[in-house]
A and B are shown apart, each in its own frame.
Chain A
Amino acid sequence: MPESAWGWLIVAYLFLAGAGSGAFLAAVACDLLAPDWSRTLARAGSLAAGPLVTIGTVCLVLDLEAGLWQPWRQIYLVSNLSSMITWGVIILSAFIPVAFLYAAALNEITFVGRFAKKYLLHLEIVGSVLAASTAAYTGVLIAVVNGVPFWNTPLMPVLFMASAISTGLAVAMIGAAILDINTIKTLSNFALGHLIFLSVEAVVLMMFIFMSLTRSVEAAASADMLISGVLSPYFWVIVVVLGIVLPFLLSIVEYYKYGELHKYLVIGADLCVLLGGMSLRAVIIFSATPPQVI
């Protein structure tokens, strides 16, 4: 396996930033579309978004070297607007406070929350744009890298966006069950959401793999690593079966046996989506194959 300069900390960051921004989008969607019966889910999503993206950003900072030991160097991170990391720093710096403020407003936490509640719709609009930017940016970050042909495709941000939305919905559903286990029945309403987003993710993933096979020798080498190479057990078992197929099937059952599915199966499906989302990032980062230069 080729050695990558980036490891698990970056994988965790890509996943957490995606899941956090997805949870924010899920919360906004619930609050705007069905504030009456999906209130718990909106609350859970809003409460999870800020902390998840923050933990992800901490992982990103921990991966730095000189920038970690001499933190004042991080001020330079916004120097180069042609670097996606500079854009990422700007987007994250804007999104994290908005996400916390939105959680405070929606849950009416402290006087800040009660004050911010007056501007709830504004927070939702600005926050959604920033959340979508965060999710897409994690894909663009690695898509603009021409040192790894496998990543260098416009499908990358689309794939990460799709995964961010499905993992975000899973986070919000788990959070809703933690906040109030009685909502487990109403969670069946969101099974359809899972079906749609997991299908989109599966289609984009399939296109990504198929197109990589013909795009270049190096991209094909990476794709082969996932389909039949060293990473194939993780790709097929964790990413495809546990992360997409199993939650998809459980969501179908959940949708038709409205509210009757056992609570552990509902939560289990969501945990599988999260496991799949994390593993998707891991196999993409660890299958990086550099161009054949000699």
Chain B
Amino acid sequence: MPRYGIAIDTTKCIGCHSCRVACQNQQGLEYNQSFNWIKEKERGKFPSFAKEFVPLQCNQCENAPCQRVCPTGAIYTSPEGVVLVHKERCVGCKYCIEACPYKVRTVDHHEGIVVKCWFCIDLVRAGGEPACVTTCPTQVRIFGDLDDPGSRISRFIATHRAEPLRPDLGTRPRIFYKRS
């Protein structure tokens, strides 16, 4: 069984929000709802400064805090290492939102449950890739199997020493960033 992850190269991101729109289309989300954010970070001081765009989505943590705190057991990890939500079990207590350090979970007020990025697992199981990955015009994201040392993603992470966001939090995310 593969263990899926995404590598993100922020040096390529132009902040166009295509990934966000593609995600909203794919998941049928409303305009103000999203599983995908582009955070902006300014570095340096005038005149030598730069703005970095950092795409942010569910980190599919191996040690997922949301899964640990969910009282109904609605949050589980699939065999491919994707953190998923049992829609019929979620009561909407929002404890997982408080527990998530990356703050990437949102409430779906129609269904009354908490939802988030699920790596477009339906597309992936059919042999495709998540919508954010295939849509990106500058190919910021690489999707693939973290357990296969020969995969493009594993080689990218090794070559660029890509790291997850805040590894010190101990959540062991499956999304890796090349920041410079």
Interface residues of A, Cβ cutoff 8 Å to B: 4-6, 63-69, 73-74, 76-80, 82-86, 89, 142, 144-148, 288, 290-291, 293-294
CA distance A294 to B56 in the complex (A): 9
Task: For B69, give its contact among A5, A6, A145 (CB under 8 Å).
Answer: A145
Task: For A76, give its contact among B89, B103, B165, B166 (CB under 8 Å).
Answer: B89
Task: For B101, give its contact among A67, A68, A83, A290 (CB under 8 Å).
Answer: A290
Interface string of B46-63 (1 = CB under 8 A from A): 000000001010000000
Q: Chain A interface: which of B27-35, B91-99, B136-144, B153-161?
A: B91-99
In the bound complex, do residue A73 and residue B91 qualify as a contact, i.e. CB atoms below 8 Å apart? yes
In the bound complex, do residue B71 and residue A80 qualify as a contact, i.e. CB atoms below 8 Å apart? yes
Interface size class of B (residues with CB under 8 A): 35 or more
Task: For A69, give its contact among B88, B98, B112, B169 (CB under 8 Å).
Answer: B112
Task: For chain B, residues 115 to 134, give those with C-beta under 8 angstroms from any C-beta of chain A.
Answer: none
Interface residue? B39 (CB, 8 A): yes
Answer whether A77 and B169 are a contact pair too, CB < 8 Å, given A288-B98, A293-B101: no
* B169 neighbours in A (Cβ, 8 Å): 146, 291
Q: How many A-B residue pairs have CB under 8 A?
A: 109
Interface residues of B, Cβ cutoff 8 Å to A: 39, 41, 54, 56, 65, 68-74, 88-95, 97-103, 107, 109, 111-113, 165-166, 169
In the bound complex, do residue A66 and residue B54 qualify as a contact, i.e. CB atoms below 8 Å apart? no
User: Which 6 A-B pairs have CB atoms at the shortest separation, nearest pair first?
Assistant: A67-B91, A65-B92, A65-B112, A66-B112, A85-B71, A76-B72
Majority SS of interface residues in chain A? loop
* A144 neighbours in B (Cβ, 8 Å): 69
